[in-house]
Chain A
């Protein structure tokens, strides 16, 4: 099954790079760019790659649509390979604000086919020379805010014909999170071979200094620090924007990508986590698998507060007996 990927050329082209953001991670482990799947090079749906903000197939953000107008999109049976990247949602109409679009995509797309939401956001402008999240994404994981697919999808995916990677929609299927966590560790105990991550979820709380409430993310939904950082960025963008004061205009599309980046880097947020021992560490030092094995919760701190944080994990393990 060939899946169109928005704006993706094989091998880290200019469009890839703009999708990655850093949240002040220290020494991020490099993106697994070797996992570029052949599918990246597959045929692109040109309409889907049209650079705009909004769900593919949707109208421009300013227009207000009634639900009946919107329903010309047929609900597509999600597992059929003929889906051409158009979200099978007939329920969503476009609203302004990229965060909304982001949420739209999560809530309404029953299958995202390995697309990162980053495709639809920040479209159009300059690019980071950094690696694309997409490449790491497509190896079976669709990586967006709370979207999870089984961790072992990455092992199952064949490069030429990946199975319908089950992109999880928020809150679907309606299974309580404690149930997901428990099954994850259960199957880990029973089936684990070579410490490979198994299917299931690993929810940890994420808090941010100054944010009035915290969120939860499923660490098993990501396979690299960059993916995690992207997702967190998107999750907490609204708080940082809020500090700017209300944006004028009809929506968030007025906020340029560079302005967002400056805001985040300028305010110097740093991502930290609490490990099994209860120590707060900077995220990014240890290999990813080790990180998710020991991370109990995450916190986005102001850089100034993070000074004097526990020594780097690598140093910590050295000093340990």
Chain B
């Protein structure tokens, strides 16, 4: 067996393989493939920043150009993870700054990144191009100024949904006049004003700018100025969409939009004054993506827009759209792939809008390409869910949030087990599912038996007993992420399925019935899991093993227990050396 394939050829072949999962598979073929692959891997994705350490990553992959990291668990989005939990980027940037001088891209989600880190990024990588901070926090405008000032070839700066300390500095002016490389700028999350003149100048000298998402503070009066400078835009996020009613303003805006022949995506639309909506009607026929989820406009206005968008693929909207608007959507937008309907008034028990399960049923009937649904509503029935499932077996993501926890089928008052059972039965490619409403253990039996491709499951206020959790853990072969809150799941199911947990990225359980003792036992049995207990009462040491933990976060790791835990997070690893 002396013949060996030249490395260069193999490298060339591998360069066509981009999916992380495929790359991982390649590296497992044999030792020499592992070696070749690791030297030529350019992009790494780390779904849980604590699953591995920077050192391990750098040792294995020395030539990385693009890093993507995720930090906090998903439920951090809903304030279930206390501040200070972790997810710090600093240790990563320290080592990467040394090890990856040619790093070009950093994408972070739910991580804490400081101005110091941002500065380090800006000064360590000569060819730095892409910075995406999704739902991150810990930094201020000063950090952005450093990025702007020092990254000569910056192509993309996307701060989507991050929390930025707005110390009202003017950071846009830090982009040097020589910087003309910008293709994408998303500052929609910034709360305070930016210097408009700096913004205009920046846009004017960025001929390749394709994506521009303004923040709310950019007034509508100034939008046409920006559009005139950037008619090549493909994606635009407006600022506040309101101004005094002025005919000349409307004409200007209409004209400006009309010049944007490439525009395919719109977002923003805070504070909409309906008078100005017609300004962008000319781009509707081209729109593939529309985010009206901040627009508090009523159903007729929404309907008027979407009936002009036959090419729409992604729509986010408030429930002001109502069933009538969704009916119209189902008739007009046959290309729809993704629908998200958010609640306008989530904390009022009584419905403030005429949006029911019927709207979703209509869309499922009319939009044959619909794959992804996020739907907030106040009532649901088993028959509606079954209809939806039969209509749309091609669903890959189904997230239903009935606002009232444990709400039953509003017609029969039964649990919604059968409805969701139909979903997992018909939608064989379902990868992501979020449950709500009144649910017994039976729904989990259905899920465990049928949802074989399910990768992420979110459960809240559901189930009767440990059996429910056991069905899921023992049945869902593809499960990677499981997040559970307020369910009567306890020790039995968890401890009966310990090895399953190593096949998953993470498990979150809060306000359930898992005991401290079980956590300790789990941790002892499974050394490659970090079993973290989050408990803000501060006296975990003196509590009996039988007491229930507030929050439990279990994830697989090759890096051992982390060392940056705050006092309210404890790992159950018995080794006292790891205790703080």
Contact = CB atoms under 8 A, between A and B. Distances in A.
A131 interface: no
A312 interface: no
Contacts of A108: 486, 511
Given A110-B405, A163-B350, A215 B547 contact: no
Nearest to A106: B511
Contacts of B271: 185-186, 189-190
Given A75-B406, A170-B80, A70 B344 contact: no
A103 B550 contact: yes
A176 B77 contact: yes
B544 A250 contact: yes
Question: What's the dominant secondary structure at chain A's contact region?
Answer: loop
B488 A91 contact: yes
Nearest to B216: A182
A58 to B, nearest CB: 12
B231 interface: no
A79 B512 contact: no
A30 interface: no
A217 to B, nearest CB: 10
A317 to B, nearest CB: 22
Q: In the complex, which range does the number of interface residues on chain B fall in?
A: 35 or more
Contacts of A216: 79, 83
A89 B82 contact: no
B189 interface: yes
A195 interface: no
B346 A95 contact: no
Interface string A228-258: 0000000000100110001110111000000
Contacts of B84: 212-214
A14 interface: no
Give the size category of A's interface with B.
Answer: 35 or more
B356 to A, nearest CB: 16
Given A67-B490, A238-B537, A246-B539, A78 B404 contact: yes
A165 B318 CA distance: 22
Interface stretch (A21-29, A34-42, A146-154, A265-273): A146-154
A300 B349 CA distance: 34
Nearest to B434: A174
B342 interface: yes
A97 B539 contact: yes
Interface stretch (B18-26, B58-66, B459-467): B459-467
Contact of B486 (A78, A91, A100, A215): A91
Interface in B339-355: 342-350
B485 A171 contact: yes
A93 B548 contact: yes
Interface string A87-98: 011111101110
6 contacts: A91-B488, A163-B350, A176-B78, A183-B344, A186-B294, A252-B537
Given A67-B489, A78-B404, 17 more contacts: A67-B488, A91-B511, A96-B547, A104-B511, A107-B511, A110-B404, A174-B77, A175-B342, A178-B189, A179-B293, A185-B271, A199-B345, A212-B84, A214-B83, A214-B84, A241-B538, A246-B542
